[in-house]
A and B are shown apart, each in its own frame.
Chain A
């Protein structure tokens, strides 16, 4: 069974600084997808970034980038130049064919000015 672990229940960062959220996962498959979702107070889950396991190159989306270490089953999210609007709960998730998105417990990120 797939599992996702986010070891940091809460993180904080100052505006314009960089923060890294950690995620480890376990899956028996070689072909899978990894995601980071953001859930602001509005509760709307928003996809931040995705990574295909077969790709060695780390995904980037503007200020968001990942550090994907397949052998270590690690998938961390780096947020650069943090903004107040980045404050939210962040969920790491893994997906493989025939199953569903499996989420970690989430990391609450607060951003201070």
Chain B
């Protein structure tokens, strides 16, 4: 069974540009969550999607957005990139929405975004 796949693995962008990251969950999983990991702030929750609907959102500016497709694949977009957006972006999938209640959250290997 394939795991959570995040593409691309590495990305270098210029300040002011926009970027789209992709996450393919484990087959059958319908919940996808996104996290930003930085050395200073640690892991911070961005948003969660379930059945194509955003169910939960973290405390990030509107430049961060996402969506989920009918096949449960998810994308997140960051517009007008800032140097502080440089981070590892992790995606996690789970079978049901309330990951942790009855099911485990499986993480991808992340996308390392560098903004220069």
Question: What residues of chain A have their CB less than 8 Å away from a CB belonging to chain B?
Answer: 33, 35, 37, 42-47, 50, 91, 95, 97-106
Contact = CB atoms under 8 A, between A and B. Distances in A.
Given A33-B101, A91-B43, A95-B99, A101 B33 contact: yes
A37 B42 CA distance: 13
B45 interface: yes
Contacts of A100: 33, 45, 48, 56, 58
Given A45-B92, A45-B107, A98 B43 contact: no
Contact of B109 (A44, A47, A105): A44
16 contacts: A33-B100, A33-B101, A44-B109, A50-B100, A50-B104, A97-B98, A98-B56, A99-B56, A100-B58, A101-B45, A101-B99, A101-B100, A102-B45, A104-B42, A105-B42, A106-B42
B101 A97 contact: yes
Contacts of A106: 42-43
